[in-house]
Structure 1
Amino acid sequence: MDGHLRPRRCKKLKVKASEIELTILGLPGALCVVKATPASLIREVKEEIRTQTGIEVDDQRLFAKDSAELSKDNAALSTVDLILDQPELPKAEVNLCNVLKASLLLLRRPPKQAEILAELSSVRGGEAVLKVFRDHGQDAAEDRIVVLESVRRNAQCLQHAAPHFLEDRQVVLTAAKQSGMILKLVSDELRKDREVVLAAVKQNCQAICLAAPELQEDREVMLMAVQKDRYNGEIFRNASPKLRGDREVVLAAVSAMGLNLQFADSALQSDLSIASAAVRQNPAALRLVDRSIRGHTKVLDAAGWNPPMPVIEGPIATKGAARWVAVLAVEPASQRTELYNRLIW
């Protein structure tokens, strides 16, 4: 041991403190001291730095001692993982600490980068963001900070960024959260990246079609996709037999789109919970339910079929949510088709 106590990390400011004293360091040394509270926003810290140093807010980049950038201007200091300047305090004294001291490194943005970011922050809407990005040409296309901010607001900016950004995981992940179909542009390696694919599918379920084949077979990815596919059932229909036989996947698929029941493994078409979920979403799915449970009270109730009067008179008359399959069985053949269609369709 060298006799020096390690700085204490204050993760999300679990220490109770009324004030935080931030020493702002530049490359030459200390620039200023900012006094704040745990509730202070990063932007408020930057505004105080501007007051004391004249450095514009948009020109500032703040970093903690572990090189993590404080990039979210609307985040409170209480959410930031600061590394404190104080040595380790005895456990008994932790909650008595009223003033925490920490240092942040301030780097000034290149003038052109600051100019583009300021212009981006002044516009609204994806088309306006794309126009600003394209208007600045190579200055924007080659600047990673500008590219990240641009694709966060309009993923189409990635099409106009330098080609190497199509292999940049953070850039692609940011773009995928904004537009899942951006996967069609990116490297094969990133189409195999599970986190990237999940983000893309969460934004647009059709993005699963652009993922690497092994991820199209991934259970979690498929669950995410079928939960969001409420249009034509193409995703579930094209899933592997293994996934179409997975009870949880099938339940998610029919809950989103009842007619997906027709693509489920035949054994699951007679599952009472799955059948009920399917007809609850779309009563027309009743025709797809296995005949062995089609007249089950739970299924009929889920489909909303609950006639106020018996369908026929007699000992097997249907009352409330009755088993209409039994009714059909005793109907004359000439009337059975008409009654069947009236109940099903």
Structure 2
Amino acid sequence: MRTWINMLAASIALCASFILSGLQVDAAEGPNVIFILADDMGYGDVGALNPESKIKTPNLDALARGGMVFTDAHSSSSVCTPTRYGVLTGRYNWRTKLQNGVCWGFSRRLIEPGRETVASMLKGAGYHTAAIGKWHLGMDWPRLESKGGGFADDGMRWDPKYRGGWDVDFSKPIENGPNTVGFDYFFGISASLDMPPYVYIENDHAHVSKLVEKTFYNRTGPADSEFEDIDVLPRITEKAVAYIHERAEADEDRPFFLYFPLNAPHTPIVPIEKWQGKSGLNKYGDFVMQVDDSIGQVMQALEANGISENTLIIFTADNGCSPAARIDEMKKKGHFPNWIFRGHKADIFEGGHRVPFIARWPAVVEAGSESNRL
């Protein structure tokens, strides 16, 4: 019998299979699963992995103390989109049509029609599934009929006919997004926070009260007038916490799978006022502290609902720390975001793909354990 646990191990991360191997659990009895994917966060940013880290990460450290730390974990790519494709499909990312770079905000769907994902498999096993945060795997945005109809395509960025999303009909449903690959619910943004459109998406609709032009970091494009980059991490954290409360209170005996891909600490590096200056390093260090706080809020929601014991939390990152974090500036203050590893995001060197990886499942995983398996 193929259990949910085998599907999870195969599709979410091979690293996790070490702690999950040999378990025979019926789908109805399976744990809740929360997969948290940080964006551009280095191995050396987590205190539990780097004792000399200058960034305080009390919640991640607590997660590590309560579970298993993987010291030789690697993402399947040193940039965003390919890692996300591999995480959700369990396939080599080079099997897609995207042979270099990443998706953009108006890129067409990358996950192939009919492709099974961890979300669709868990949904088939009885789970309620949600994705909250940064998607970055493409979706099909309908163009205005007056502009020729069809779908916008960031793959045409260098074509003189390309309109950068200004030809999109934001009032129409978006096609082939997260809801079509196994997620019952989606809330978040289409790509990185420095890639337009700057709008929130809920299921297949964009939230646009008034369409304006905005620039975040260094990219200009269509935006909702109420959308601000600094609000995104708090907003998706609030949504994730609300989802946990909602599922805990639901009148049904059904576990949930929450895929929680953060927009941070990727650019634009915009910690809220509460965290500004707290790291003593720079804005990136402050933003990592805010990421840690978001994870703490998720953990608190589990505790508040009495479901922490049978919830598997996996935390990792899509790739290593980016030069945009001003790595040299932090090194001068004694902090090495990619720890001892050479390179950084977008590199073939280990600093580009060696990532933090922590798994906690109190009912099963031994607290304070460690694996050095690849």
TM-score in same-fold range (> 0.5): no
Higher relative contact order (CA 8 A, sep 6+): 2
TM-score by length of 2: 0.19
Q: Which has the higher strand share?
A: 2
Please give the TM-score of this superposition, normalised by the length of structure 1: 0.21
Give 1 or 2 for the bigger CA radius of gyration. 1
